[in-house]
Amino acid sequence: MMNVGYSGNVQADENGYLRMARKCFSRVGLACAAFFIVAAASQLAVSLFLQLFWKQIGEQTWTFIAMLSMYPLAFPVSMLIMRTVPKGVPDRRYPMSPLRFLGIFVICIGAMFTGNCIGQALMAIVSLLTGRPIFNGVNEIILGMDSWAVLLVAVILAPIVEETIFRKCFIDRLAPHGQLTAVLLSGGLFGLAHGNFYQFFYAFALGLIFAYVYLRTGRVRYTIALHMLVNFTGSIVPMALMKIVEEHVLLGSFLAAGEMMLLCGSVVCAVILLVVCRRDIWFSKSRRRIPAGRWLSVIFGNVGMILFLMYCLFSFIWM
């Protein structure tokens, strides 16, 4: 009889934990969905206002103001929802040396280039099958903006906001349910949040790297710095090269070829570094873990995550 009672208590305790975990993941998904829905609504409202009352504004300035408008309201709303999810006890933190930071940056560039190639190849296949050209709308928007605007929005503001949400807030709250789960979910949601196949693969890979760095160091400043450097490399540098090509074709072509060689070299270096340092990649075991058979239902079978996934699906189709 005592064994039966003990077994019943264990089962009840596990069910209670799974309900609590599902609620945690639901709030996280809701915070993500709220951020992007409010951001899209803010951009739409600002765009309509500019079209109605400031028609003389230039296209570049209009794009910049519209993109900038998504942060002031969306970020606080997301943070208010995230605050309702309790944080876990932080794991042991490890320092980040300059050499290790440089190595991780090289891995990031290799991951970005590889993921970008996968996305471009996939879009080429889709374009071939559908018989119509598919354009990267994000690249067109960035290339249509001034360098200073891209620097402010994509290189400074976006990394600060995204790392605060997807790394600091997510990992602090999801790590108690499994460090590997937290890293995978942080990277996966970060990739989906970009809303298109062009960016999903490299954003997913970078999200995994950033999540692991934050998990081990406990310092979001490292992931913000990495994110800024990656976005600078992926936006400002190509824009500068395109400008050089327009003015000096020979010099620009030489520099572009050099950039391609560096990117290919970064892939090779990234693979070597990952192989050499593979034993340094580890995850602590959590006191409570979601059973393998309940993983999908607990993490994604809730209102918040379903709402976020529906938003992502709409974004993928729309883009």
CB atoms within 10 A of CB 315: 16
pLDDT confidence bin for 4, thresholds 50/70/90: very low
Q: What mean pLDDT is reported for the chain?
A: 86
Q: Which of 246, 257, 41, 251 is nearest to 143 (CA)?
A: 246
The predicted pLDDT at position 149 comes to: 83
For residue 49, the enclosing domain spans 2-318
**Cα separation, 80 vs 261, whole angstroms:** 45
Looking at residue 198, its pLDDT comes to: 81
Phi then psi for residue 160, to 5 deg, are -65, -50
Please give the pLDDT value at position 160.
Answer: 96
Among 55-64, 90-99, 125-134, top mean pLDDT goes to: 90-99
Cα–chain center distance at 55: 34
- pLDDT band for position 124 (cuts 50, 70, 90): confident
Considering the entire predicted model, what is its pTM? 0.90
CB 130 within 8 A of CB 224: no
Residue with tokens 């989906």: 192
Separation in Å, CA 64 to CA 143, 150, 243 = 12, 8, 20
pLDDT in tens, 175-204: 989 999 999 999 999 999 988 878 899 999
Q: How many domains does the chain have?
A: 1
Rounded CA separation 41/93 (Å): 39
Crossing angle of helices 197-217 and 220-231, rounded to 10°: 150
Label each residue of the chain as H, E or C: CHHHHHHHHHHHHHHHHHHHHHHHHHHHHHHHHHHHHHHHHHHHHHHHHHHHHCCCCCHHHHHHHHHHCCHHHHHHHHHHHHCCCCCCCCCCCCCCCHHHHHHHHHHHHHHHHHHHHHHHHHHHHHHHHHCCCCCCHHHHHHHCCCHHHHHHHHHHHHHHHHHHHHHHHHHHHHHHHCHHHHHHHHHHHHHHHCCCHHHHHHHHHHHHHHHHHHHHHCCHHHHHHHHHHHHHHHHHHHHHHHHHHHHCHHHHHHHHHHHHHHHHHHHHHHHHHHHHCHHHCCCCCCCCCCCHHHHHHHHHCCHHHHHHHHHHHHHHHHC
Q: Which residues have a Cβ under 8 Å from the Cβ of 133 and sit 6 or more positions away?
A: 127
Q: Is the pLDDT of residue 256 over 50?
A: yes
**pLDDT, tens digit (0-9, with 9 covering 90-100), for 50-65:** 777 776 666 666 677 7
Q: Give me 10's structure tokens.
A: 């264990």
pLDDT of residue 319: 65
Give the whole-angstrom CA distance, residue 162 versus residue 152: 14
Please report which confidence band the pLDDT of residue 89 belongs to, taking 50, 70 and 90 as the band edges: confident
Length of the chain: 319
pLDDT of 137 strictly over 70: no
pLDDT value for 43: 85
